[in-house]
Amino acid sequence: MLTSHDADAFPGLLTRDGARWHYLDSAATAQKPNAVIDAVTRALGPDYATVHRGLYARSADMTMAYEAARRQVAALIGGAEHELVFTRGATEAINLVAQSWAVANLKPGDRILLSMLEHHSNIVPWQLIRATTGAVIDVCPLTQDGQIDLDAAQAMLTPAHKLVAFSHVSNVLGGVLDVARAVALAHGVGAKILIDGCQAVARVPVDVAAMGCDFYVFSAHKLYGPTGIGALWARGDLLDAMPPWQGGGSMIDRVTFAETTWAPAPQRFEAGTPAIAEAIGFGVAADWVRGKGLAAIHAHESALVAQAREALGRLNAVRLYGPAASAGIVSFTIDGVHPHDLGTILDEENVAIRAGHHCAQPLMAHLNVPATARASFALYSDQTDIAALVRGIERTLRIFA
């Protein structure tokens, strides 16, 4: 039961009057299981103390829990704990790579390859780097069904390209990147490759060692964890060579007015008091997802995507976007109905979707629409959510007719 205190219960899936809330906005942020909520509550309450500084027992215990969370999160993606930096989210993780690695390594005329479907967080930081370093940004087109066109990427890449930055799973279209091929293409011209894994880590198995990428970024809150924290995984040799991008406490070795020396990675990139309780919740969420099995989660969400696309495809006014085999995400429009109006009417039916440009305005321009409606699934989603979505759309069509 959703009202139980079982570790698998999601109290956020109930309305204030106790009714079922059909939450179909998990691509924006996932609801939290009690296991995560309880861990954060304990960390903020009876277990709370600072980390890395205190000489008293509770501080030492909290430091151990904080670093255990780093191991838990690294294990989720097959990485080593010394290669994982806690950040405020994937956005900060990308900016960290941009302001540290890119500033140190790019020069005028170097090139960066992005794709048409990238989230703004994987576009804007590179535009700032373009202004700073004189690097050039190229944009890889999409296939007809909305995947990153790796054949086109292969034709575009040259030795002048120093970085490729692609989404593992599109937050709008749900397509899954062939990361192994993308890595091979980037490395084939001597470029580094960053993968935005925000939509992937909660949906598909990830193994950074097997994929061979150089940087991998993701956020906790899309992984059934807290907001305000995420991670950058980077190859150890790259991380060790990167200069710090923020200064403060915790990231130093020794400070004098003459000079400062830095702590080793990953601490070098974690200036100031960290998000302690959030990190612990992040670790619990990572373990919770690992316990459920990402292959099983992906199979569950893929089945729901297939059912949703079939049901929506039977409605003549609905236009679907993206590949049929998407990872937990279905984007669509309805003839004569703005997605914002649809979202408002669905809310009256206890159905929550996302409507807008999804922080992917270049992709919206490519699709020739101002916005789409997006239904996104999670482990807690089921067929009743699809049925409620279809009922709400049918009501919307009657209203607008």
**Residues acting as catalytic residues:** 359
Q: Report residue 230: phi and psi, to 5°.
A: -155, -165
**Residues in contact with 254: Cβ distance below 8 Å, sequence separation at least 6, in sequence order:** 260, 261
| d(C-alpha 349, C-alpha 328), whole Å | 22
Q: How far is CA 195 from CA 55, 163, 293, 334, in A?
A: 39, 11, 21, 32
| d(C-alpha 216, C-alpha 279), whole Å | 18
Q: Give the alpha-carbon dihedral of 337, 342, 345, 350, to 10 degrees.
A: 160
- Tracing tokens 């490395």 back to the chain, one arrives at 187
**Please, which residues bridge with residue 111 across strands?**
136, 161
| d(C-alpha 92, C-alpha 86), whole Å | 10
| d(C-alpha 55, C-alpha 249), whole Å | 17
64: number of Cβ within 10 Å: 11
| d(C-alpha 108, C-alpha 133), whole Å | 6
What separation, in Å, do the N-terminal and C-terminal C-alpha atoms of the chain show? 39
